[in-house]
Structure 1
Amino acid sequence: MPTHSKVAIVGCGAMGSVYAGLMQLAGHEVHGICLWTDHVRAVQTGGLRVHGKSGDHTVDLASMGTSTDGVGECDLVVIATKAFDVESAAQAARPLIGPGTVVQSIQNGLGSPERVAGVLGGERLAIGVVGGFGASVSTPGEVHHNGMEMVRFGAYDTLTRADLEASAQVWTSAGFEVRLFDDTDQMVWEKLIMNVAFSGTTCLTGMTIGQVLADADAWHVAQECALEAVAVARAAGIFLDVGDPIQHVRLLGGRIPDARPSMLLDHLLGERGEVDAILVQVARLGERHGVATPTLQTVADLIRARESLMAAAPERQRGDSPREPSSSARLNA
């Protein structure tokens, strides 16, 4: 992969915009693809402002649009959409893929890399896990992030170590600290137990991560969800190298106490959240291995019930919510 790479970020929302802005700042040719037209127009007109942990920078991306038309083949394609949009994003990314392209699928929860591989094949695919960013689009064209704690990649199938390292170099050149994993199940689940702890509890209570940690009742539910997920991982033979998993969750959460996970932000915008990928898939895996997940399942059922009610209120769709809440912080794409 060349020193100055051509990169496409498919799903250039809060997290994707952080990736795009810092990679462009590092000298790469970055093309953003996003369906949020207000955000696209603002970036096209005034550039993309990225501020927070990395400083305060406004950059002009190589392009920002609502489709992949005209972008051409890239060295690196990052699919950073929500889990339920990965198949359509992968289809849209087809024109970006050449024989040497590395594709990175970065989503919360379980199941997304398999769906991307079903569209694009798994030979050039890397699984990505990120966390600790607390990213939000405070106004179209402007993204803020509280941190950049975790960036991890591993090969999905036959991607060579050399190609994996070359694609990771794009990230490290932009200031991200990257770890590469051979055991991608470990990589995914060490992040997933934090998602399971905080995504549902913040969504149902409206609390930040710090408020959940400080409230005995909310923390009890979050802790039980995490413990159930750990039990599922162990039954499935997944190795977790985090020491005490609850202390691991408290430590990571304590680093971004003001963060509002994406599932909560989606609810505040009247949008569908990633309850299936983050919570339901863990519960289903538990069923296959004979592990009960009553707390996790209850949280998931309550969120889905509320989403069904919201779906009957079309006035709450994004068209009537031109921006993400200015005080919010997104935990991850």
Structure 2
Amino acid sequence: MMVEAKLKRRSIIVKIAIAGAGAMGGRFGTMLAQTDNPVTFIDLWADHVQAINQHGLLVHTDNGDQRVHVPAYLPQNVPGTFDLIVLFTKAMGIADMLTALKPVITPQTHILELGNGIGNIETISRFVPKEQIIAGVTVWSAALNGPGEITMKGDGSVTLEALGSNEAPFFKQVVQVLTDAGLKPTASHDVLAAIWRKAALNSVLNTYCTILDCNIGEFGQLPDHDAMIDGVLGEFAAIAANQHVHFDAAGAKQLIIAQFPDDKNGLHYPSMHQDMAKGRKTEIDFLNGYIAKVGARENIPTPVNATLTALIHGQEKLKTLHSREAVTA
């Protein structure tokens, strides 16, 4: 069943840009586009931008398919300015994206960071003052099928905190906009703990599912999944204590296990698995690799995260070699 999604335009509340309109950016843009707020997609992939503009974003859901018509631009072509930029750029691409968007970022523009990994806030702080940054994490999931096409399945939520003040009127407005879009936001006063919890989730599910070539539910069916989870989380806890970050390993494990059922995210292949399959660079250095790097610097043993990081880098290298061999064959 194909349903043409029509954007509501009764009133303009918040002018929103989705910077990084891939799987997760596409999902958030799709859900936000059902509110009264104008949404713009920004992405580096020219074919993706062209497909969205020509045909709309094709979205597959459990309830059928729809095409969402939202304007899309390459970063250097974005017109106008925005009240809110929702940043879903890969961690290693944040600086390049914000550099390209400098002409459309004003003193009134707030940046909501929802990408994976640890250290992203520090990167964003090079471009805007902390009063314009909203830090957050999300356990929503999605898959990018190809240019102009995504799949949205499962449930999720968003945890966010204004680095200025959660009492600021604009922050409260953002929370309301996300609520209206069905994104289930919760305002936090310790978003750093939430960021580390999400990074721990990704360092388990993204990394193991990529190495084992399985989806989240299949990982949960493995007889040794408990030991594999505990190995990663134990080292996360040690590094978090060293960095004076509150980290609840038991809570993180519960969150991971909660993703296993099919009606949650069990059927989902995490973003790292998708990146590896398509030969794209992964975010491993901002997940397990971050823990291993700090462990090496602080003389704290992190053999599990260091090994997982090396395995992912090994897969990346082999993918590159195989691609070159295929071209020269």
TM-score by length of 2: 0.86
Which residue, 173, 184, 187 being the options, matches 2:191? 184
Aligned pairs for 1:169-248 within 5 A: 169-217=176-224, 219-240=226-247, 243-248=250-255
Distance 1:127 1:54 in 2: 31
Q: Residue 144 in 1 paired to residue 144 in 2?
A: no
Are positions 1:13 and 2:32 aligned together?
Answer: no
User: What residue in structure 2 maps to residue 262 of structure 1?
Assistant: 271
CA distance in 2, matches of 1:316, 1:180: 50
Partner letter of residue 192 of structure 1?
A
Is the Cα–Cα contact under 8 Å of residues 162 and 171 in structure 2 kept in the other structure?
A: yes
Which residues of structure 2 form unaligned runs of 5+?
A: 1-10
* Residues 25 and 88, structure 2, Cα contact 8 Å, conserved in 1: yes
Shift of 1:113: 1.4
Query: Is 1:127 matched up with 2:135?
Result: yes
Q: Cα distance, 1:229 vs. partner?
A: 1.4
Report percent identity of matched pairs. 26
Given that 1:25 and 1:59 are in contact with CA atoms closer than 8 Å, whether structure 2 keeps it comes out as no
- Structure 2 vs 1, CA of residues 245 and 128 (structure 1 numbering), >3 Å: closer, same or farther? closer
Alignment match, 1:328? none
Q: CA deviation at 1:31?
A: 1.0
- Aligned residues of 1:51 and 1:57 also touching (Cα < 8 A): yes
C-alpha distance in structure 1 between counterparts of 2:54 and 2:222, whole Å: 44
CA distance in structure 2 between the aligned counterparts of 1:26 and 1:305, rounded to whole angstroms:
44
Q: Is the 8 A contact 2:143 2:271 kept in 1?
A: no
Output the CA distance in 1 between the equivalents of 2:297 and 2:164. Answer: 24
Q: Following TM superposition, by how much is the alpha carbon of 1:316 offset from its aligned partner in structure 2, in angstroms?
A: 9.1
- The one of 283, 295, 310 equivalent to 1:286 is 295
SS of residue paired to 1:126? strand
Tell me, what secondary structure is at the counterpart of 1:119?
coil
The aligned amino acid for 1:77 is: I
Q: Measure how far apart 1:96 and its partner are.
A: 2.2
| Partner secondary structure for residue 252 of structure 1 | coil
Report the alpha carbon displacement of residue 159 of structure 1 after superposing the two structures with TM. Answer: 7.5
Corresponding residue for residue 94 of structure 2: 86
Unaligned 5+ residue runs, structure 1?
320-333
Decide which moves more: 232-241 or 3-12.
232-241
SS at match of 1:120: coil
1:296 aligns with 2:296: no
Kindly state the Cα deviation for residue 83 of structure 1 after the two structures are TM-superposed.
0.5
Which letter does structure 2 place at the counterpart of 1:185? L
Number of positions where the alignment pairs a residue of Structure 1 with one of Structure 2: 315
Deviation at 1:115, TM superposition (A): 0.7
Rate the CA distance shift 1:69–1:41 in 2: closer, same or farther, 3 A: closer
Contact 2:205 2:256 in 1 (8 A): no
By relative contact order (CA 8 Å, sep 6+), the higher-ranking structure is 1
1:219, 1:213 → 2: CA distance?
Answer: 9
Counterpart residue number, 2:317: 308
Please give the per-residue CA displacement for 1:17-57, whole angstroms capped at 9, x wherever unaligned.
11112212212211111122222222111112334268754
Q: Distance in 2 between matches of 1:230 and 1:272?
A: 27
One of 93, 111, 118 as aligned partner of 1:110: 118
Deviation readout 1:267-326 (Å, 9 max, x if unpaired): 111111000001111223334555321111101011112223333445599x9xxxxxxx
CA contact (8 A) 2:233 2:249 kept: no
How far is the alpha carbon of 1:157 from its aligned partner? 4.7
Q: What's the Cα RMSD here?
A: 2.5
User: Which segment drifts farther, 240-249 or 138-147?
Assistant: 240-249
